[in-house]
């Protein structure tokens, strides 16, 4: 299909919920994407943190093709090997007790919220339901996860929201203590605030928060939808912070491109949801679970994760060499990196990257977010940095040049 016809048809037939870039992608290989005319783009977006193995990864493609020809879907009323294997791999690797699978990040967080509330209500009675989340967090777009999201702009139009959430300030135990009361059952957070600007939480604060949760029997819920599955150089980001969450949610990278999400529960919380309490028609069906177990077999090895750490360090070091007054900060962990710039320049910078065949993301109002496939090579990082240098050094005056 011609580009112009595609654009016209999209306008006519697709609800306009996305502000799309003027780019129609056709296929991909490794860290590269190709448009309808065959132009090549270096992908530092991974479909917003999904394509951890890049595009058309041979082992993942082969595993999925074999599974499509064998069994794509049966109901969760029956046992299937890929789902059980994916759960076992995740539990064995993390020490968590049991998994539940959904199809997306928001649904994973819904399961996490339900499990936490049921655990607390069974133990303390029906009023103990409140969950504290971080200001500027992002937890999804269902009615409950919108309210869990600590940003006013997401709390418009769709009333009534699910009640039972309150929001605390980033890195402030004082704020947590002020918000927690006897009806609070859990604290839920991203360890790196992704959507709102790639902001890693302070490790000291996270340790103090864990202690406070333990002392008050509040469940510690970690949203690893964006940070999980090797993105930060550990299977889950909480392992960088040396904490033990009660429930972890995941999605995005877990399927490497096939929709799958879920939660991992510790021994304390794994029996909160019982038969009939929760479910999903598609959750970890044989196709989706095959993607998860294949992704895990590749990503969850010490060498692969060490490489992500090393490449993340290298990428940030190289970014630090760009001399531009537009860059206010470079931050992140592993291959989840933010470049903070002036809000007035961000859109032009992202478009200038695209014009130079480099795809990057925006986070919050002023941060360029880089989520490259975890298989990116140092040569590809060098090429990305060269382009970013050109963009920054051409677009803006260079300080002290």
Could you list the residues that contact ligand PLP (CB under 6 A)?
48, 104-106, 109, 138-140, 190, 194-195, 223, 225-226, 251
Closest to ligand PLP by CB, 246 vs 307, is 246
Closest to ligand PLP by CB, 226 vs 326, is 226
Q: What are phi and psi of 375, to 5 degrees?
A: -90, 5
Indicate the residue whose CB is closest to ligand PLP: 105
| Beta carbon of residue 224, minimum distance to ligand PLP (angstroms, whole number) | 8
Strand 130-134 relative to strand 165-168, pairing: parallel
Closest to ligand PLP by CB, 57 vs 199, is 199
| Beta carbon of residue 104, minimum distance to ligand PLP (angstroms, whole number) | 4
Contact between residue 332 and residue 198 where contact means Cβ atoms under 8 Å apart: yes
| Beta carbon of residue 332, minimum distance to ligand PLP (angstroms, whole number) | 14
Q: What are phi and psi of 217, to 5 degrees?
A: 50, 45
Closest to ligand PLP by CB, 188 vs 272, is 188
Distance from C-alpha of 176 to C-alpha of 205, rounded to nearest angstrom: 11
Distance from C-alpha of 375 to C-alpha of 363, rounded to nearest angstrom: 22
| Beta carbon of residue 378, minimum distance to ligand PLP (angstroms, whole number) | 27
Closest to ligand PLP by CB, 190 vs 307, is 190
| Beta carbon of residue 138, minimum distance to ligand PLP (angstroms, whole number) | 5
The position carrying tokens 């478009």 is 351
Q: Which of these, 222, 35, 246, 25, lies nearest to 139 by C-alpha position?
A: 222
| Beta carbon of residue 169, minimum distance to ligand PLP (angstroms, whole number) | 18
Closest to ligand PLP by CB, 3 vs 158, is 158
198 CB-near residues (< 8 Å, 6+ apart): 192, 331, 332, 336, 337, 338, 363, 367, 369
- Residue 25's beta-bridge partner residues? 35
Q: Which of these, 209, 212, 6, 188, lies nearest to 115 by C-alpha position?
A: 188
């Amino acid at each position: 299909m011609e580009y112009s016809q595609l654009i016209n048809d999209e306008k006519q037939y697709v609800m306009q919920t996305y502000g799309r870039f003027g780019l129609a992608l056709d296929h991909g290989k490794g860290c590269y994407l190709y448009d309808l005319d065959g132009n090549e783009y270096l992908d530092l977006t991974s479909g917003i943190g999904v394509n951890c193995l890049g595009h058309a990864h041979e082992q993942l493609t082969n595993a999925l093709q074999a599974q499509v020809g064998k069994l794509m879907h049966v109901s969760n009323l029956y046992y299937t090997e890929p789902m059980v294997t994916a759960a076992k791999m995740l539990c064995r690797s993390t020490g968590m007790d049991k998994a539940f699978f959904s199809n997306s990040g928001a649904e994973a967080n819904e399961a996490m919220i339900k499990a936490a509330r049921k655990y607390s209500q069974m133990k303390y009675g029906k009023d103990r339901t409140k969950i504290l989340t971080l200001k500027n967090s992002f937890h999804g777009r269902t009615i409950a996860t919108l309210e869990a999201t600590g940003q006013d702009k997401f709390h418009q139009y769709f009333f009534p929201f699910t009640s039972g959430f309150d929001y605390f300030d980033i890195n402030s135990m004082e704020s947590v203590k002020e918000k927690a009361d006897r009806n609070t059952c859990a604290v839920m957070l991203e360890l790196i605030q992704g959507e709102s600007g790639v902001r890693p939480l302070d490790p000291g604060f996270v340790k103090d928060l864990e202690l406070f949760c333990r002392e008050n029997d509040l469940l510690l819920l970690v949203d690893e939808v964006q940070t999980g599955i090797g993105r930060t150089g550990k299977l889950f980001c909480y392992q960088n912070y040396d904490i033990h969450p009660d429930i972890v949610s995941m999605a995005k990278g877990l399927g490497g491109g096939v929709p799958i999400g879920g939660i991992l529960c510790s021994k304390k919380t794994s029996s909160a949801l019982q038969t009939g309490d929760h479910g999903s028609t598609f959750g970890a069906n044989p196709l989706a679970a095959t993607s998860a177990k294949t992704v895990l077999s590749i990503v969850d090895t010490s060498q692969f994760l060490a490489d992500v750490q090393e490449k993340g360090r290298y990428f940030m070091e190289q970014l630090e060499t760009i001399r531009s007054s537009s860059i206010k900060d470079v931050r992140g962990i592993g291959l989840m990196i933010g470049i903070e710039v002036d809000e007035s320049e961000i859109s032009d910078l992202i478009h200038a990257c695209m014009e130079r065949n480099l795809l990057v993301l925006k986070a919050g109002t002023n941060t360029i977010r880089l989520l490259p496939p975890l298989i990116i090579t140092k040569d590809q990082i060098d090429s990305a940095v060269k382009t970013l240098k050109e963009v920054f050094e051409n677009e803006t005056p260079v300080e002290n040049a």
